[in-house]
């Protein structure tokens, strides 16, 4: 015999939760960070070594920005677009979106000048085109090169190892901590049904736990390094 | 055939633009249904053919120049609705980046080259194939004949509409002294000036371009042909290397378009028009709409960089245009759903 309260049909609808943006925003951050881990670039196995690519990138960006020759600018525009035309569609968006956004920003910056001094519009257009193609090239480099290859390239350029070490560890821990945040927020999300009045306290909790985890991790890493013979000296890196 | 800025009254531009809106909406809907997602990047290749065709200027009788459009070709490859979209986007790139055809006149240019041309060309082709295959199965040769006639009809009808749009301007818009505000030539001048060169030369160029490329693609990439897409015949996905090779060859050959030095009829600059001769009379004045008109600043006016060697600039412009078209159509294909 079932008790009465069990037979009654429930009509509980959780009240709408306002201010979900806090959790949402933090979740997005966590996702973006975790995405670094599974880099979606399509670096090929026999790609150009990252060092050469890096040199090429710096040279081409410099060339694009200092050139007075419009033919060179046209050539850069044409060749980069031609290269991109062979890319699969899904990778194109991640290159073109930032490039278009940067160009739009420069259009906004130039807008007053364009309106007040229409004779200069042609020169403004050239600067905008330069911004577009430079951002595209940086994005192409970023998209086709893995993070660890970028740090390797920097090392080969004889950048002090402490910088590379910091950069490398930072990138790695951004990923690890991003995953931690993501997990914490997921568990928070699962536990709070309906209106959660103590959300802002939970946000503090998430940040606090992440900080504690990071301290713990750095301590663990230092100990692991000591166990492997690290003598507070980065020369051998 | 690109109507430049300020040759048409803003009212005319508005009407033509409004007329194109339902056409574009219909075309987008149809293409979403008819063309599978995988074909969209290839439509970009089709648009690239059209873009390149328009860069090959040929000298026409009477000292002007003209070019093929290739709209019928795209209609044969991807259907008339897809051709409408492809040519529209090619025209947009030409207007925004290279200043070929006006921004305000974009609607009118699309009406002539992206709507009239591919639809007229395609349905002429269909009609001929249908008539020829009434009693017996069509021979393969009939497709080429039909494509030839279709493309010839298409471009000439488009030229006719362009001429009518030009020719109506002085009748509708003129100042108190009878001087035209925009295009100064009326129907009696515009129609023969546009039609004779197009019937004699540009139509033939379009015909040859269409048939040659169509035959090539029928042979090397039959899965790109509209009728086969519609029939949904299962075909092995092919690499279209010969097609891309053809595009590369066309790009390399674009400087040939520079050999024709004249200005196309109805595309003179505001500084040129007063001196244009017609039946022995120079015009003698600059229409006020042209003299005080608004014009968009573009990065590479007329596919060239001022003060530079024209040939590399022309080739680079061709590469840029083709690459942008392929990229745009790849991006369009992203949100589309796959057929299965």
Closest CA to A199 of A34, A13, A27: A27
Q: Measure A74 CA to nearest chain B CA, in Å.
A: 7
CA distance B79 to A206: 57
Q: Is B307 left (phi over 0), alpha (psi -120 to 50) or beta?
A: left
pLDDT for residue A60: 92
pLDDT tens, residue by residue, A28-63: 776 676 666 555 555 555 667 888 888 889 999 999
Sorted by sequence, the CB contacts under 8 Å of residue B175 that are 6+ apart come out as B181, B288
Q: Measure B200 CA to nearest chain A CA, in Å.
A: 35
Question: Contact B334/A93, CB-based, under 8 Å?
Answer: yes
pLDDT tens, residue by residue, B79-135: 889 899 999 999 998 888 887 877 888 888 899 889 999 999 999 998 988 888 777
Closest CA to A150 of A50, A56, A64: A50
What count of residues does chain A have?
237
pTM: 0.77
Sorted by sequence, the CB contacts under 8 Å of residue B294 that are 6+ apart come out as B5, B6, B104
pLDDT for residue B270: 65
Mutate to test the interface with A, among B320, B321, B336 (most CBs of A within 10 A): B320
pLDDT for residue B237: 54
Closest CA to A172 of A19, A18, A37: A37
Q: Measure A122 CA to nearest chain B CA, in Å.
A: 6
Minimal Cα distance from B306: which residue of A?
Answer: A70
Calculate what percentage of chain B has a pLDDT beyond 90. Answer: 8
Q: Which residues pair with B67 in a beta bridge?
A: B57
Mutate to test the interface with B, among A72, A76, A77, A125 (most CBs of B within 10 A): A77
Average confidence (pLDDT) over A120-133: 87
Which of A74, A90, A118 shows the shortest C-beta gap to B305? A74
Average confidence (pLDDT) over B11-33: 88
Sorted by sequence, the CB contacts under 8 Å of residue A188 that are 6+ apart come out as A23, A202, A206
Mutate to test the interface with A, among B307, B319, B329, B337 (most CBs of A within 10 A): B319
CA distance B158 to B120: 9
Which domains does chain B carry?
10-333 (1.10.1760.20)
Question: Contact B322/A82, CB-based, under 8 Å?
Answer: yes
Q: Which residues of B touch A (CB under 8 A)?
A: 41, 297-300, 305-306, 308-309, 312-313, 316-317, 319-320, 322-324, 326-327, 330-331, 333-334
How many angstroms from the chain centroid is the CA of residue B132? 28
Query: Per-residue b/e over A72-101, b at no fewer than 16 CB within 10 Å?
Result: bbbbbbbbbbbebbebebebbeebbeebee
Question: Contact B300/A82, CB-based, under 8 Å?
Answer: no
CA distance B69 to B53: 6
Q: Which residues pair with A203 in a beta bridge?
A: none
Question: Contact A78/B323, CB-based, under 8 Å?
Answer: yes
3-state SS, one letter per residue, for chain B: CCCCCCCCCHHHHHHHHHHHHHHHHHHHHHHHHHCCHHHHHHHHHHHHHHHHHHHCEEECCCCCEEECCCHHHHHHHHCHHHHHHHHHHHHHHHHHHHCCCCCCCHHHHHHHHHHHHHHHHHHHHHHHHHHHCCCCCCCHHHHHHHHHHHHHHHHHHHHHHHHHHHHHHHHHCECCCCCECCCCCCHHHHHHHHHHHHHHHHHHHHHHHHHHHHHHHHHHCHHHCHHHHHHCCCCCCCCCHHHHHHHHHHHHHHHHHHCCCCCCCCCCCCCCHHHCEECCEECCCCCHHHHCCCCCCCCCHHHCCCCCCHHHHHHHHHHHHHHHHHHHHHHHHCCCCCCC
Mutate to test the interface with B, among A67, A78, A119 (most CBs of B within 10 A): A78
CA angle B173, B176, B179 (to 5 degrees): 60
Query: In sequence order, which ranges of chain A are alpha helices (DSSP H)?
Result: 4-7, 21-37, 50-66, 70-85, 89-116, 121-144, 147-156, 161-191, 199-227
Q: Measure B308 CA to nearest chain A CA, in Å.
A: 7
- The DSSP secondary-structure symbol of A220 reads H
Tell me the chain B residues in contact with residue A95 when contact means C-beta distances shorter than 8 Å.
none
Tell me the chain B residues in contact with residue A85 when contact means C-beta distances shorter than 8 Å.
322-323, 326-327, 330
Sorted by sequence, the CB contacts under 8 Å of residue B197 that are 6+ apart come out as B60, B61, B62, B64, B66, B265
Tell me the chain B residues in contact with residue A129 when contact means C-beta distances shorter than 8 Å.
299
Average confidence (pLDDT) over B179-185: 75
Tell me the chain B residues in contact with residue A78 when contact means C-beta distances shorter than 8 Å.
316-317, 319-320, 323
Query: pLDDT at residue B282 above 70?
Result: no
CA distance B173 to A23: 62
pLDDT for residue B119: 92
Average confidence (pLDDT) over B53-61: 79
Question: Contact A96/B331, CB-based, under 8 Å?
Answer: yes
Query: pLDDT at residue A183 above 70?
Result: yes
Tell me the chain A residues in contact with residue B326 when contact means C-beta distances shorter than 8 Å.
85
Average confidence (pLDDT) over A195-223: 82
Tell me the chain A residues in contact with residue B308 when contact means C-beta distances shorter than 8 Å.
69-71
Query: pLDDT at residue A21 above 90?
Result: no
Sorted by sequence, the CB contacts under 8 Å of residue B217 that are 6+ apart come out as B77, B224, B225, B243
**Four-residue CA torsion sign, A184, A186, A191, A196:** positive
Average confidence (pLDDT) over A175-193: 78
Q: Is B284 left (phi over 0), alpha (psi -120 to 50) or beta?
A: left
Average confidence (pLDDT) over B245-252: 81
Closest CA to A42 of A184, A186, A174, A141: A141
Average confidence (pLDDT) over B172-200: 78
CA distances from residue A209 to A23, A49, A221, B277 in whole angstroms, order as listed: 15, 40, 18, 83
Q: Measure A121 CA to nearest chain B CA, in Å.
A: 7
pLDDT tens, residue by residue, B133-175: 777 766 777 888 888 999 999 999 998 988 888 888 877 777 7
CA distances from residue B70 to B53, B88, B160, B321 in whole angstroms, order as listed: 6, 12, 17, 15
Q: Count of A–B CB contacts within 8 Å?
A: 66
pLDDT for residue A196: 67
CA distance B171 to B160: 17
pLDDT for residue A237: 47
pLDDT tens, residue by residue, A66-117: 888 888 888 898 999 999 888 888 788 888 888 999 999 999 998 888 888 8
pLDDT tens, residue by residue, A134-179: 999 998 888 888 777 777 788 777 777 778 778 778 877 877 887 7
Going by pLDDT thresholds of 50, 70 and 90, the confidence category of residue A226 is confident
Which of A69, A82, A93 shows the shortest C-beta gap to B323? A82
* CB-based burial label for B176 (10 Å; 0-12, 13-18, 19+): exposed
Tell me the chain B residues in contact with residue A75 when contact means C-beta distances shorter than 8 Å.
312, 316
Going by pLDDT thresholds of 50, 70 and 90, the confidence category of residue B340 is very low
Give residue limits of the domains in chain A. Answer: 19-37+160-227, 50-144
Question: Contact A79/B319, CB-based, under 8 Å?
Answer: yes
Going by pLDDT thresholds of 50, 70 and 90, the confidence category of residue A130 is very high
CA distance A202 to A54: 43
CA distance B15 to A36: 51
Mutate to test the interface with B, among A70, A74, A96 (most CBs of B within 10 A): A74
Question: Contact A89/B41, CB-based, under 8 Å?
Answer: yes
**Four-residue CA torsion sign, B34, B37, B39, B43:** positive
Per the prediction, chain B carries an average pLDDT of 80
pLDDT for residue A100: 92
Q: Measure A133 CA to nearest chain B CA, in Å.
A: 12
Minimal Cα distance from B248: which residue of A?
Answer: A82
């Amino acid at each position: 015999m079932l008790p009465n309260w069990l037979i009654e049909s429930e009509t509980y609808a959780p009240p709408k939760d306002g201010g979900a943006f806090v959790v949402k925003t933090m979740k997005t951050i966590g996702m973006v960070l975790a995405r670094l881990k599974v880099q979606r670039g399509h670096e090929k196995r026999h790609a150009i070594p990252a060092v050469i690519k890096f040199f090429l990138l710096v040279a081409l960006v410099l060339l694009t920005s200092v050139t007075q020759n419009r033919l060179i600018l046209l050539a850069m525009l044409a060749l980069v677009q031609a290269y991109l035309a062979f890319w699969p569609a899904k990778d194109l968006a991640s290159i073109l979106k930032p490039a278009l956004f940067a160009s739009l920003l420069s259009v906004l910056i130039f807008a007053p000048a364009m309106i007040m001094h229409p004779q200069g519009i042609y020169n403004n257009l050239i600067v905008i085109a330069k911004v577009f193609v430079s951002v595209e090239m940086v994005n192409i480099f970023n998209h086709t090169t893995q993070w660890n290859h970028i740090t390797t390239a920097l090392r080969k350029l004889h950048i002090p190892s402490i910088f590379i070490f910091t950069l490398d560890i930072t990138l790695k821990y951004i990923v690890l901590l991003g995953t931690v945040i993501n997990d914490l927020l997921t568990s928070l999300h699962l536990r709070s049904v309906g209106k959660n009045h103590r959300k802002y306290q939970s946000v503090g909790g998430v940040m606090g736990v992440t900080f504690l985890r990071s301290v713990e991790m750095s301590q663990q890493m230092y100990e692991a390094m000591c166990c492997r013979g690290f003598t507070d000296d980065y020369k051998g890196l | 055939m690109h109507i430049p800025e300020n040759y048409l009254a803003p009212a005319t531009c508005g009407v033509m633009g409004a007329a194109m809106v339902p056409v574009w909406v219909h075309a987008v809907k149809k293409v979403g249904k008819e063309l599978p997602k995988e074909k969209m990047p290839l439509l970009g290749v089709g648009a690239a053919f059209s873009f390149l065709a328009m860069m090959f200027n040929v000298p026409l009788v009477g000292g002007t120049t003209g070019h093929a459009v290739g709209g019928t070709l795209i209609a044969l490859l991807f259907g008339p609705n897809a051709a409408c979209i492809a040519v529209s986007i090619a025209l947009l790139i030409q207007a925004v980046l290279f200043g070929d055809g006006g921004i305000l006149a974009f609607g009118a240019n699309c009406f002539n080259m992206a709507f009239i041309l591919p639809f007229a060309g395609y349905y002429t082709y269909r009609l001929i194939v249908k008539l020829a295959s009434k009693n017996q199965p069509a021979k393969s040769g009939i497709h080429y004949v039909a494509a030839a006639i279709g493309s010839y009809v298409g471009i000439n009808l488009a030229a006719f509409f362009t001429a009518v749009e030009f020719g109506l301007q002085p009748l509708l818009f003129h100042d108190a002294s009878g001087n035209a505000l925009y295009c100064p030539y009326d129907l009696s001048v515009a129609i023969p000036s546009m039609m004779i060169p197009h019937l004699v030369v540009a139509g033939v160029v379009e015909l040859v371009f269409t048939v040659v490329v169509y035959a090539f693609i029928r042979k090397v990439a039959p899965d790109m042909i509209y009728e086969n897409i519609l029939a949904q015949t299962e075909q092995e996905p092919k690499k279209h290397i010969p097609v891309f090779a053809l595009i590369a060859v066309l790009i390399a050959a674009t400087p040939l378009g520079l050999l024709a030095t004249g200005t196309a009829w109805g595309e003179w600059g505001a500084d040129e028009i007063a001196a244009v001769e017609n039946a022995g009379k120079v015009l003698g004045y600059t229409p006020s709409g042209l003299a005080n008109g608004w014009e968009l600043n573009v990065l590479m006016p007329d596919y060239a960089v001022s003060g530079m060697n024209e040939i590399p600039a022309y080739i680079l412009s061709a590469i840029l245009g083709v690459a942008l078209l392929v990229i745009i159509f790849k991006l369009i294909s992203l949100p589309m759903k796959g057929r299965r």
